Structure 1
């Protein structure tokens, strides 16, 4: 069976029940796919650097087959100025992306680059900011240089966030009042990570672009125009399953 392997960070990864309603768009991508396996290897906190160094890219490369897709989406953690994670956008970030692309192609697989969706940051006048800075631009440059298909989730998300504004975007992110959800009894104001509805619509856009850009035949897609009650259709992993997948989807015995 053809497979889509996802390499990315916290905005892509599948979440466990104890983190609900936080969800990554890779978690909801199967809602729009059929007859194809979605293997979500994205991990919270991963950058292009740490994902490789912890053996996660290696695991993908050990398992990926000719004609499979490797969908690559990083940026939010690469910009964190901490050891083992940070990369310069027009330095190591691009170097790492080139390696992901070339390693996939060496195995007969097809790489796809996806810019990270933007964070929810508005100034006091309601103007949206772009805290991801140059990382989306750096990814676009690599896509053009290596002729890699690009899905610009960043630009698409910015247009949506602006349309909804500072208050409307709270329903997309993990923005919860005290007592609103048992997993966050004291409430939470997370401007980086999506809840189910936001994740569903981001994955709908990614799936639509996979189709429109001809990266997969039409028979692999479903539900692209279907409305969902995201809180009813999004599935969360058991915590034990999540922990096991995190430990085992690495190469060379790394964790």
Structure 2
């Protein structure tokens, strides 16, 4: 089976360092790192700047549908750019409507749709590990969760996961998940545009999210449900 990915730059393949100007500091989405964490083939159709509207208008969704085979999975994660067009792509308006269309069309082609909330931006109020991590997506993640409930579609809550990830690492250490942190750690100069980018991942960030997605999809598949429980063989609490 094949896992098809539809989304924006936080899912999309690597830019090979073109954005940062350093080959050793690429910018990439979690979809580029998913293959090592699944036994399925991964087809990453995501593209930087995409909204639920542009992904269809540019023919990318049509191309994805043409490649679908019964039993495939389609993971759909948008929102970062949709929120920049609140009139046409409001969370409970055009954004939800277009996601629902994606779900219906994936199902019509025999595939399993899986919705994902947007990965969180790493934006803090203040400095130090006590600084509060801001919520940057407003009602968009909630709209995805509600749609998943209404349409009986699995939802990968990547907003919640990435918020946990940044908090677990701490404000300073979590910088390494992003190009400016990786560049600084490598002793490379960090210009203003790179320093302000707390949206896009470098390899470490993409790999962390991809590992979670791989585990979540395996759980949805029931990949290990038939394994023998090991409770009798491990130390008792």
Structure 2 length normalisation: TM-score?
0.83
Q: Contact between 2:148 and 2:155, CA under 8 Å: does it hold in 1? A: yes
SS at match of 1:191: coil
Matches of 2:151 and 2:89, distance apart in 1: 20
Determine the structure 1 residue equivalent to 2:16. 17
Q: For 1:127, which of 125, 132, 136 is the aligned residue?
A: 132
Provide the residue aligned with 1:158 in structure 2: 163
* Aligned 8 A contact 1:178 1:186 in 2: no
Cα deviation, 1:173-228, whole Å, max 9, x if unaligned, reads: 121349845xx77472111001111110100000100112226x45xxxxxxxxxx
Q: CA deviation at 1:63?
A: 1.5
Partner of 1:208: 215
Partner SS for 1:213: helix
1:62 correspondence with 2:61? no
Match of 1:92 among 76, 94, 111: 94
For the 8 Å contact 1:65–1:107, the answer to whether it is kept is yes
SS in 1 for 2:99: helix
Query: 1:140 maps to what in 2?
Result: 145
Given the alignment of the two structures, is residue 112 of structure 1 paired with residue 114 of structure 2, yes or no?
A: yes
Specify the alignment match of 1:79 in structure 2: 83
In structure 2, the gaps of 5 or more residues are 19-24, 225-237
Deviations 1:48-101 (A, max 9, x none): 111011111011111211111111011111111389xx6100100100000000
Between 1:62-71 and 1:96-105, the stretch displaced more is 62-71
Can you give the 5+ residue segments of structure 1 that lack an aligned partner in the other structure?
219-255
Deviation at 1:163, TM superposition (A): 2.3
Following the alignment from structure 1 to structure 2, what is the Cα–Cα distance between the partners of residues 82 and 139?
16
Which of structures 1 and 2 has the bigger CA Rg? Answer: 2
Q: Hey, what's the Cα distance between the residues in 1 that align with 2:187 and 2:75?
A: 34
Q: What's the counterpart of residue 104 of structure 2?
A: 102
Paired residues of 2:16 and 2:27 also in contact (CA < 8 A): no
Q: Distance in 2 between matches of 1:154 and 1:17?
A: 25
